[in-house]
A and B are shown apart, each in its own frame.
Chain A
């Protein structure tokens, strides 16, 4: 199956948006998960719920909120543009931001579960062997949470490839800039005679999803073997 330039453009954009989204959200998801696994404070459940909110909120609502906050006239958007020259509105970076936030709960929850399942006795043992907090995090927590981190990142990546509502609401449907695969499919369906194009793009999406699933399984197995379980 040969891809047309427009199809290739949508595919590469989709991959770029998702990779950037997952990579940027990962440190935040990790930090949030580590923080919540240690911290004890009233209202912790509420905070925990807030981190999973993007999962249950309608993506269109999410996109609208992003538009209000990160639009060129939104409080955050205006500040970022003025001070860092960072523009999200009608830009592929906006699509990545939307994807990152929408798929954040996938990463957060996977890492949180991995940390929860970790035996706290191991950290105690490391402590008695002379390891400080950061040392324990780098040499114990991180490697042992790796399967969770990888699983979360792959799930989030797959979910990100399919993100539609938040992106189209926030950064619109601009060819080559914000028109990822799902948006391209939508666009094809809106165009008279675009059925074949929609079918081709859908097939592409399915292939991508299958590759993702296969990679996830391989990565999972490798990582599990690495940590010797």
Chain B
């Protein structure tokens, strides 16, 4: 699957002017509130007709203002999960789920229907009315309903924004399962870096109606321009890792393209893939290999790039084929006389392993 999106629309006081492309998997549309994420989603879904635009999904133009093409929303086969769920209040959960399913061109079989119901943990909710559901349950039903309409593309407009933290962590694993099992390409709108780094394969950063940066999540999160483009305060590298072994002392060893990481015990078999994050603030730099140190992870690396701004410096490090980012003060930068090409050691103070993939 691939999609090309190009939109231009002038609202009063705001201009949306976004171009990006998507290639399967989960693409995160990331940016602060008011950056044009929801307008972009609405235009793709067909709920907003942009003044100028072209949207091509797998070679099929669903919108091309120059050619006078605008396929109505009901015929686009683009599923949408709205922030506020938007379940039909007069229908049971089952009838909500079957609403799009009944109208799909190639509806899922009863087996697939049952599978998605099970995947989202909705079996016992089927006869209930939406008014009797919790916020998290509503989100799951909305997700299932959109998925069962057999869409070629699934749009998720901050599906977790209306939920509190415990509910969020209740839904995230479902989203991860969907990403891994359902094989529907997703465009996931979020202003939470946490969700983006957990779910996305690639990221499109929006600011003030424009695309400020885009790329695969592993590249973008260690890109020094990312912080500036996205305006986030705290960021860091996201790494694709594998469980290598479990040690007798209760720790687990992960391998990633730049070496090994020792982390707390992970309840997964060796060989299992997972995603780890190392925040820029959690890396210290040393010119010589530190011997007597409490940190478990010291990774040899080479400075790839440095970007200074406002009293601190972001240092991009190449470790094997992986990229890490460290944030240090400008004073340290000067004292150590760091420059691109220098070899040094990255002392990793803490590694975040996504809770779901880590197991209980």
Asked if B82 and A121 make an inter-chain contact with CB atoms under 8 angstroms apart, the answer reads: yes
With A121-B82, A125-B82, A228-B131 as known contacts, state yes or no: A130 contacts B90, CB within 8 Å.
Answer: no
Asked if B129 and A130 make an inter-chain contact with CB atoms under 8 angstroms apart, the answer reads: no
Asked if B86 and A122 make an inter-chain contact with CB atoms under 8 angstroms apart, the answer reads: yes
Q: Per-residue CB proximity of B35-52 to A under 8 Å, as 1/0?
A: 000000000011100000
Q: Which residues of B contact A122 (CB under 8 A)?
A: 86, 88-89
Asked if A128 and B84 make an inter-chain contact with CB atoms under 8 angstroms apart, the answer reads: no
A38 an interface residue at 8 Å Cβ cutoff?
no
Q: Which residues of A contact B86 (CB under 8 A)?
A: 119, 121-122, 124-125
Residue of B nearest to A225 (CB): B129
Asked if A144 and B89 make an inter-chain contact with CB atoms under 8 angstroms apart, the answer reads: yes
CA A16 to CA B77, docked complex, whole Å: 50
Q: Which residues of B contact A227 (CB under 8 A)?
A: 89-90
With A121-B84, A228-B129, A228-B131 as known contacts, state yes or no: A129 contacts B149, CB within 8 Å.
Answer: yes
Overall SS of chain A's interface: helix
With A121-B84, A229-B131 as known contacts, state yes or no: A128 contacts B78, CB within 8 Å.
Answer: yes
Residue of A nearest to B92 (CB): A228
Q: Which residues of B contact A229 (CB under 8 A)?
A: 89, 131
Asked if A128 and B146 make an inter-chain contact with CB atoms under 8 angstroms apart, the answer reads: yes
CA A122 to CA B88, docked complex, whole Å: 7
Q: Would you list which residues of chain A between 120 and 163 have a CB under 8 Å from chain B? A: 121-122, 124-132, 135, 139-140, 143-144
Q: Per-residue CB proximity of B91-110 to A under 8 Å, as 1/0?
A: 10000000110011000000
A226 an interface residue at 8 Å Cβ cutoff?
yes
With A119-B86, A124-B86, A125-B80 as known contacts, state yes or no: A131 contacts B99, CB within 8 Å.
Answer: yes
B247 an interface residue at 8 Å Cβ cutoff?
no
Size of chain B's interface in residues, with CB distance under 8 A?
30
Q: Which of B84, B100, B131 contacts A130 (CB 8 A)?
A: B100
Residue of A nearest to B103 (CB): A130
Q: Which residues of A contact B90 (CB under 8 A)?
A: 143-144, 226-228
Q: Which residues of B contact A144 (CB under 8 A)?
A: 89-90
Q: Which residues of A contact B79 (CB under 8 A)?
A: 128-129
B74 an interface residue at 8 Å Cβ cutoff?
yes
Asked if A131 and B130 make an inter-chain contact with CB atoms under 8 angstroms apart, the answer reads: no
CA A144 to CA B86, docked complex, whole Å: 14
Q: Per-residue CB proximity of A203-229 to B under 8 Å, as 1/0?
A: 000000000000000000000001111
Asked if B46 and A228 make an inter-chain contact with CB atoms under 8 angstroms apart, the answer reads: no
Q: Which of B47, B78, B130 contacts A124 (CB 8 A)?
A: B47
CA A144 to CA B82, docked complex, whole Å: 20
Asked if A130 and B149 make an inter-chain contact with CB atoms under 8 angstroms apart, the answer reads: yes
Asked if B99 and A128 make an inter-chain contact with CB atoms under 8 angstroms apart, the answer reads: no
Asked if B130 and A128 make an inter-chain contact with CB atoms under 8 angstroms apart, the answer reads: no
Residue of A nearest to B155 (CB): A128
CA A127 to CA B145, docked complex, whole Å: 13
B73 an interface residue at 8 Å Cβ cutoff?
yes
Q: Which residues of A contact B73 (CB under 8 A)?
A: 124, 127-128
CA A129 to CA B154, docked complex, whole Å: 11
CA A124 to CA B79, docked complex, whole Å: 11
Q: Per-residue CB proximity of A150-191 to B under 8 Å, as 1/0?
A: 000000000000000000000000000000000000000000
Asked if A128 and B47 make an inter-chain contact with CB atoms under 8 angstroms apart, the answer reads: yes
CA A175 to CA B350, docked complex, whole Å: 94
Q: Would you list which residues of chain B between 41 and 79 have a CB under 8 Å from chain A? A: 45-47, 72-79
CA A130 to CA B72, docked complex, whole Å: 9
Q: Which residues of A contact B78 (CB under 8 A)?
A: 128
Q: Which residues of B contact A130 (CB under 8 A)?
A: 74-75, 77, 100, 103-104, 149
Q: Which residues of A contact B45 (CB under 8 A)?
A: 128
Q: Which residues of A contact B145 (CB under 8 A)?
A: 129
CA A131 to CA B46, docked complex, whole Å: 13
Residue of A nearest to B99 (CB): A129
Residue of B nearest to A130 (CB): B103
B20 to chain A, nearest CB (A): 21
Asked if A129 and B47 make an inter-chain contact with CB atoms under 8 angstroms apart, the answer reads: no
Residue of B nearest to A127 (CB): B73
Q: Per-residue CB proximity of B103-122 to A under 8 Å, as 1/0?
A: 11000000000000000000
A141 to chain B, nearest CB (A): 11
Q: Which residues of B contact A226 (CB under 8 A)?
A: 90
Q: Which residues of A contact B75 (CB under 8 A)?
A: 130
CA A129 to CA B143, docked complex, whole Å: 12
Q: Which 8 A-B residue pairings sit nearest by Cβ, starting from the closest?
A: A129-B100, A130-B103, A228-B129, A227-B90, A125-B86, A128-B80, A127-B73, A143-B90
Of the A-B pairs whose beta carbons lie under 8 Å apart in the complex, a sample of 16, sorted by A's number, is A122-B88, A124-B73, A124-B82, A124-B86, A128-B46, A128-B74, A128-B80, A129-B79, A129-B103, A129-B146, A130-B104, A131-B99, A132-B74, A144-B89, A144-B90, A228-B131
